[in-house]
Amino acid sequence: MQLSSLLVDRPLAAVAVGLTALVVLAQPFVLAYWAHCEARAKGSSTFDVFLYMFVVLGVVHYWYVRFVRGDSGPREYPPTRRERLAGAYSMAVVVAFLVGATVSPPDPLTQVLYFVPLFAGSFVVASLVASTTSGPRSVATN
């Protein structure tokens, strides 16, 4: 059975394939924007930050250091809402693919169908984490 006939017979699968393609094709651009903003705020090279973040584990590590630990280095200004959303988007794509590959059957079409709801759920969680822990942690002084 060809993919085109399968997508005609199952419109939900066609929508899922289209949404997955849109999200995955937008990922490099969102990642480049996030890397540019991070590098500009820290006064470092955009290319170096983008290369580090483009590797999947680089995104996971950078996101952990930036939002969870909160010690990614000094910034000239705090991250904007758009920067936090770009980071959440980048992390949600990685999490949705990893969880989808783990919980779905090995059929590629089923993994694509799982990706859309997993991406939506992981984006909500990632944006909540990014918005609640985005500021620099301050130590209370007495």
pLDDT in tens, 76-126: 878 888 988 988 898 899 889 889 889 988 888 888 889 999 999 999 998
pTM, whole model, 2 decimals?
0.76
* Predicted local distance difference test score (pLDDT) of residue 141: 42
Nearest to 20 by CA among 138, 100, 135: 100
Tokens of 101: 């590959």
b/e string for 68-78 if b means 16 or more Cβ within 10 A?
Answer: eeeebeeeeee
The reply to whether 51 falls in a domain is yes
Range of the domain at 95: 9-132
Nearest to 114 by CA among 17, 23, 31, 40: 17
pLDDT in tens, 14-68: 888 888 889 988 988 888 888 888 888 888 888 877 777 777 567 777 777 776 6
The reply to whether 3 falls in a domain is no
The reply to whether 141 falls in a domain is no
One-character DSSP codes across 19-78: HHHHHHHHHHHHHHHHHHHHHHHHTS-HHHHHHHHHSHHHHHHHHIIIIII--S---SSP
The reply to whether 65 falls in a domain is yes
Say if CB 110 and CB 104 are below 8 A apart: yes
State how many domains the chain has. Answer: 1
Nearest to 129 by CA among 98, 73, 96, 91: 91
